[in-house]
Amino acid sequence: MSKSKAVIAGLVILLAATFGGCSKADNDMPNSASNSKSTSDPSAASGEDHTAATFTYYHFSTGKKDTLASETVIGKELQKQTGVDWKLEYVVGDSTTKAGVMIASGDYPDVISSSGEMAKLMDAGAYIPLDDLIEEYGPNIKRVYGPYLDKMRQEDGKVYTLPYTANQGEYIGSPNIGGGAFWIQRSVLKEFNYPKITTLDEYFDLIKQYREKHPTIDGADTIGFVSLAGVANNFFTLQNPAMHLAGYPNDGSVMVDMETHEAKVVAGTDYQKRWIQKLNEVNAEKLFDPESFTMNKDQYLAKLTSGRVLGYFNYGWQVGDASKNLLAAGIDEKRYAPLPIVFDKGIKDQYMDPPGFVANYAVGISIKAKDPIRIIKYFDHLLKEENQILVQWGIKDQTYSVDDNGRFYYASDEQRKYHDDLELSRTFGFTYFGTDWPRYGGESTLSDGNAFSPGNQPEVAYASYTEGDKTILNAYGVETFSEMFSKPEARPWFPAWSIALEQGSPEQIFTMKSDDLQRRYLPALVMEVPSNFDKLWEEYISELNKLGKNTYENTMTKIVKDRVAGKW
């Protein structure tokens, strides 16, 4: 059997096994969700309202199927504790359009997870203030968000939403790469005996050499490089590489100088030109997939799992489903390895995020909510540490174990599958409850020193590595994939993309028009005949210079400097 066919066969077997095992996960509910901590709520005996109630929770994020929370193991357990269930709904298509329709109609769900639509929703008055509710009903909310409250307040001094980045305990980074990287199929590295490549030219040269040796896979053309830029909400995967290649972290639309703290727009810089022109050359060599600008996300992820793609740039969290499926298929060399690629040797990569706080990716209660008190009580209950363990680790002895030293780990492949297997993760509820709720920040540690996120637990990372993983790590002289990347430098303003701009302000209008302009020009520049590239680039720069870039940069610089000075 060929390798790509084996991938497909492995996935078919995986899906069959997953659906065959779902009923046990739904019905086998132990009484405890953590290591000796009961998740039953003693308030039930003291008159706390546990009557049945169902609220609607809308997420401005994609990639998940609408469901009823109680149809997952985690959701059912939380319903048992509180009486509350949720209709979980996710955006389909363009989130900006959906936000506009929602705002125009005033037909809001009970709870809204904002993703990138926070500014519009806040400006429309979609959320209720939470200060009084938190004060009266939110002891756990105050415990988790207390140090961040001043960063969460809007201009009127009130708190309207609960962010996802309130780190607790000691900051702990991931042993693996969930952020940005240039990814390369492992078969490419193996073919050339695991060379150390650091520059963009070296990266594409290696892909080109491999494709020349293997132009097809099972009769289908081998794809050198592919992008997710055709998906509106993911266009930043075409924009962001320029800053990373130049040695900057993901600060959104700007690069911030470490000495002067001046913020400069990435669009139109020599860095962006160099990146896009490289893709133009790659496209001329037929190494770039033209469907990059027309595929939806499902098609993109399917292409990554096909075994035909040699390289791509993404943030690890964007392609989790494809990564899990490739891992489950068991053909290690068709999986991908992350590389900290830069423009030139000597540039220090900064792909890994430093500690930061993001206030505008958050969840809030809408003005149409049927019972805000009941909702805030649920959120507060969710933030009890035993329930934070439930939504990340699951149920002791079913989805994780605890050793004699109190350390959490996976004692078997069966436990790991609840976290790694796509469908089993959905039916158990990790897919739905692991993010986009009031929660500890992803880099948190629990009160007993365990990592909040299983992926950050060293014992879990080390035990998860396949023989193929160990081969790569040994070849590059490291123990974890994150060790292949430079450690992040402290940036008090980070991330600059979290800076909220007033709707309708010149700065906000600039970002909107600049993004629209880049959506028009960057794909065209990639696909242009190389001899016409410079002419089209000058046209793009001419249009960009009409948009008021200086006003935007001055405002961002002032806010960055204020954050450095401790003003949020």
pLDDT above 90 for 464: no
Q: Read off the pLDDT band of 462 (50, 70, 90).
A: confident
Q: What are phi and psi of 312, to 5 degrees?
A: -165, 160
Q: Report CA 543 to chain centroid distance, whole Å.
A: 32
Q: Which of 76-80, 254-258, 315-319 has the lowest mean pLDDT?
A: 315-319
Q: Which of 44-53, 112-121, 487-496, 549-558 has the lowest mean pLDDT?
A: 44-53
At residue 286, the pLDDT reads 96
Instruction: Give the model confidence (pLDDT) of 291-315 as tens digits.
Output: 999 999 999 999 999 999 999 999 9
Arithmetic mean of pLDDT, 480-509 = 92
Q: Which residue has the tokens 């309202």?
A: 49
Q: Read off the pLDDT band of 367 (50, 70, 90).
A: very high
How far is 320 from 108, CA to CA, in rounded Å? 30
Which DSSP symbol is given to 409? E
Helix or strand (DSSP H, E) at 162: strand 161-163
At residue 47, the pLDDT reads 54
Higher pLDDT, 172 or 379: 379
Instruction: Give the model confidence (pLDDT) of 75-106 as tens digits.
Output: 999 999 999 999 999 998 888 899 999 999 99
How far is 442 from 179, CA to CA, in rounded Å? 12
At residue 232, the pLDDT reads 84
Arithmetic mean of pLDDT, 110-132 = 94
Arithmetic mean of pLDDT, 352-371 = 93
Q: Which of 38-42, 57-61, 67-71, 448-452 has the lowest mean pLDDT?
A: 38-42
| Cβ neighbours of 455 (radius 10 Å) | 16
Strands 309-315 and 263-265: unpaired
Q: Read off the pLDDT band of 9 (50, 70, 90).
A: very low
Q: Which of 7-16, 478-487, 518-527 has the lowest mean pLDDT?
A: 7-16
Alpha helix segments (H runs only) across 62-173: 73-82, 95-105, 118-123, 131-137, 139-145, 149-152
pLDDT above 60 for 49: yes
Structural domains in the chain?
Answer: 3-171+357-456 (3.40.190.10), 180-351+482-564 (3.40.190.10)
Arithmetic mean of pLDDT, 237-265 = 97
pLDDT above 80 for 556: yes
Arithmetic mean of pLDDT, 215-222 = 88
Arithmetic mean of pLDDT, 356-369 = 93
Q: What is the percentage of the chain residues whose pLDDT exceeds 70?
A: 92
Write down the mean pLDDT value for the chain: 90
Instruction: Give the model confidence (pLDDT) of 175-193 as tens digits.
Output: 999 899 999 999 999 999 9
Q: Which of 66-70, 329-333, 335-339, 506-510 has the lowest mean pLDDT?
A: 329-333
At residue 3, the pLDDT reads 37
Instruction: Give the model confidence (pLDDT) of 140-160 as tens digits.
Output: 999 999 999 989 999 899 999
pLDDT above 90 for 397: yes
At residue 62, the pLDDT reads 81
Instruction: Give the model confidence (pLDDT) of 411-443 as tens digits.
Output: 999 999 999 898 999 999 999 999 999 999 999
How far is 362 from 445, CA to CA, in rounded Å? 20
Strands 53-59 and 111-113: parallel
Arithmetic mean of pLDDT, 477-490 = 94
**Tokens standing for 535?**
């002419």
Instruction: Give the model confidence (pLDDT) of 505-529 as tens digits.
Output: 999 999 999 999 999 999 999 999 9
Residues 6+ apart with CB under 8 A from 99: 60, 117, 120, 121
At residue 295, the pLDDT reads 95
